[in-house]
A = this chain, B = another copy of it.
């Protein structure tokens, strides 16, 4: 079972959880040079996965570094995890920072593909190293939170191993369960959050993936000098974009709080307003000030993966300077904060920690809590009650299973009026009524209401008027699909997003190809095309590309506008894939 390390990173590890068997294949050179998100789409579309039951034995769980994973390019080590989403029923790729991608890439692994289900209810971990892949029983980890699981595995496998773990929610196949990946310090702080990938991993009986650090020797470039030269140009590009970089380094993603609130697109009390009157208490500046004031473990500009030159992550300390949660991000502040009427960073951080430890997506959970509170299960702003509801999810009670199944299902069962979800996935922290490009993305993304597909909110376009969002979203979705395939972090969009020439130069120098910059666009388009095809086979139609009706009918503060990009225009968005 020894993996032959290959400079072209082309080993596919196939893990059959029914037979508890491992096979190593080569990724055929007849296939396109896919990786990460595009590779996941490619592997899923050529299978019966589109029509399978997401938590059944026919689904696949795929882990794949990007095409440039493990290289010396900056911000390139995102890890993609995907399969048919238990949450949406469509295709899902969710990517994260951390160490997995670099470790896997350096082992020469292009993807790990998990198939089947264990015949009995048992828990396993997958260990990857230069000796190959092993499936090891790990009953002793059952029921442990992500933090506890990571701590136990660090003890056993040392600080150098990278870990991907699920919490009790994943074990219980809770539909909003996520996967936690360890950062350079070994803490499980980087999440494949959306689409229920933790439930998928749990359905395969896998509690953890451990990747040893010993796979460094075989990693090579076709033209190392050209690669190094291009990396310098990429770095210059990032440095030239200094304002953005400085903002993210200083404030992290919470930098977006003030911005979105000012635009009136900041979800507040279950999307009943786009502006939060107590925003100053939970803004990027507030995060910065508290970290400064409290010191201790607190940290700005935390690096979530090797090669990061931005450092948008942070460690948020409590009053005594001890880590409360890491990181504390924009989406979580919006969804577990203002959207739940909570105006305290400490409270948000505590709820965030709970979600992380149980292993549930903070965005989906925040959205669900907004709906649940709106339906009378708690009061807005009541941390204790909301924490109680999150504990229900973690404990896997029936109420918890319902809430853990996310915004759309909770809203339907509770008979809620405002159910902010598309394709059964809850909105990320953008109100489409004042963030129309995000609304177009939420409508059309093959992943459901996900912000990571290019929300366009940093672009210079009037978000209160209906025009221009289709074209902007089109470009954004193709570009992020390419980014997610290469392994680049979204934070690079504002620098090299306009430089496909640099991206393709990196690919050519790595693989000895001679692609033109058009290849980058085609990579993104290919990915979207496969994902759309997957969803079509899974039964999705244009009816699924619609925002919930309250967003089109209920005008809320501060602009008192409704979402008005016409459905007919939205349905033209993917026409460019046929061109």
- Please give the residue numbers on chain A whose beta carbons come within 8 Å of chain B beta carbons, in ascending order: 51-53, 55-56, 58, 172-173, 175, 377, 398-399, 401-402, 405, 409, 412-415, 537-544, 546, 548-549
The 8 Å CB contact of A402, one of B53, B173, B413, B546, is B413
| Known pairs A401-B414, A402-B402, A415-B172; A543 contacts B549 (CB<8 A) | no
Q: Are A173 and B539 in contact (CB under 8 A)?
A: no
Q: Which 7 A-B pairs have the closest CB atoms?
A: A539-B543, A539-B541, A173-B415, A401-B413, A405-B413, A402-B413, A53-B549
| Known pairs A56-B549, A538-B543; A415 contacts B401 (CB<8 A) | yes
19 intermolecular pairs with C-beta atoms under 8 Å apart:
A51-B543, A51-B546, A52-B549, A53-B548, A53-B549, A55-B415, A58-B549, A377-B398, A398-B402, A398-B413, A398-B414, A399-B399, A401-B413, A401-B414, A402-B413, A538-B543, A539-B540, A539-B541, A539-B544
A541 contacts which chain B residues (CB < 8 A)? 539, 541
* A53→B541 CA distance, assembly (Å): 16
A413 contacts which chain B residues (CB < 8 A)? 398, 401-402, 405, 409, 413
- Residue ID in chain B nearest A542 by CB atoms: B539
Identify the interface centre among A398, A409, A546: most chain B CB within 10 Å of its CB.
A398
- Residue ID in chain B nearest A404 by CB atoms: B413
Shortest beta-carbon distance, A372 to chain B, in Å?
9
Identify the interface centre among A173, A175, A405, A543: most chain B CB within 10 Å of its CB.
A543
Identify the interface centre among A55, A377, A415, A549: most chain B CB within 10 Å of its CB.
A415
Shortest beta-carbon distance, A471 to chain B, in Å?
25
A58 contacts which chain B residues (CB < 8 A)? 549
- Residue ID in chain B nearest A546 by CB atoms: B51
A51 contacts which chain B residues (CB < 8 A)? 543, 546
* A51→B539 CA distance, assembly (Å): 16
* A405→B412 CA distance, assembly (Å): 9
* A541→B542 CA distance, assembly (Å): 11
- Residue ID in chain B nearest A86 by CB atoms: B412
* A337→B414 CA distance, assembly (Å): 29
Shortest beta-carbon distance, A183 to chain B, in Å?
31
- Residue ID in chain B nearest A415 by CB atoms: B173
A538 contacts which chain B residues (CB < 8 A)? 543
Q: Are A398 and B399 in contact (CB under 8 A)?
A: yes
* A541→B538 CA distance, assembly (Å): 9
* A398→B375 CA distance, assembly (Å): 11
* A542→B542 CA distance, assembly (Å): 15
- Known contacts A402-B402, A409-B409, A539-B540; can you find 14 more A-B pairs with CB under 8 A? A52-B549, A53-B548, A53-B549, A55-B415, A175-B412, A377-B398, A398-B402, A398-B413, A401-B414, A401-B415, A413-B413, A539-B541, A539-B542, A541-B541
* A15→B360 CA distance, assembly (Å): 46
* A204→B413 CA distance, assembly (Å): 18
Identify the interface centre among A173, A538, A539: most chain B CB within 10 Å of its CB.
A539
A542 contacts which chain B residues (CB < 8 A)? 539
Shortest beta-carbon distance, A417 to chain B, in Å?
9
A549 contacts which chain B residues (CB < 8 A)? 52-53, 56, 58
A544 contacts which chain B residues (CB < 8 A)? 539
Shortest beta-carbon distance, A458 to chain B, in Å?
33
A546 contacts which chain B residues (CB < 8 A)? 51
* A398→B371 CA distance, assembly (Å): 14
* A546→B58 CA distance, assembly (Å): 16
A409 contacts which chain B residues (CB < 8 A)? 409, 412-413
- Residue ID in chain B nearest A375 by CB atoms: B398
* A173→B539 CA distance, assembly (Å): 27
- Residue ID in chain B nearest A58 by CB atoms: B549
Shortest beta-carbon distance, A370 to chain B, in Å?
16
Shortest beta-carbon distance, A205 to chain B, in Å?
14
- Residue ID in chain B nearest A567 by CB atoms: B51
* A175→B541 CA distance, assembly (Å): 24
Identify the interface centre among A53, A413, A541: most chain B CB within 10 Å of its CB.
A413
* A413→B400 CA distance, assembly (Å): 10
* A544→B538 CA distance, assembly (Å): 9
A537 contacts which chain B residues (CB < 8 A)? 543
A543 contacts which chain B residues (CB < 8 A)? 51, 537-539
- Residue ID in chain B nearest A399 by CB atoms: B398
* A58→B546 CA distance, assembly (Å): 16
* A542→B541 CA distance, assembly (Å): 11
* A548→B52 CA distance, assembly (Å): 10
Shortest beta-carbon distance, A267 to chain B, in Å?
20
Shortest beta-carbon distance, A448 to chain B, in Å?
15
- Residue ID in chain B nearest A417 by CB atoms: B56
Shortest beta-carbon distance, A443 to chain B, in Å?
13
- Residue ID in chain B nearest A377 by CB atoms: B398
* A540→B56 CA distance, assembly (Å): 22
* A173→B53 CA distance, assembly (Å): 28
- Residue ID in chain B nearest A56 by CB atoms: B549
Identify the interface centre among A377, A541, A546: most chain B CB within 10 Å of its CB.
A541
A173 contacts which chain B residues (CB < 8 A)? 415
* A172→B376 CA distance, assembly (Å): 14
* A55→B538 CA distance, assembly (Å): 26
A398 contacts which chain B residues (CB < 8 A)? 377, 399, 402, 413-414
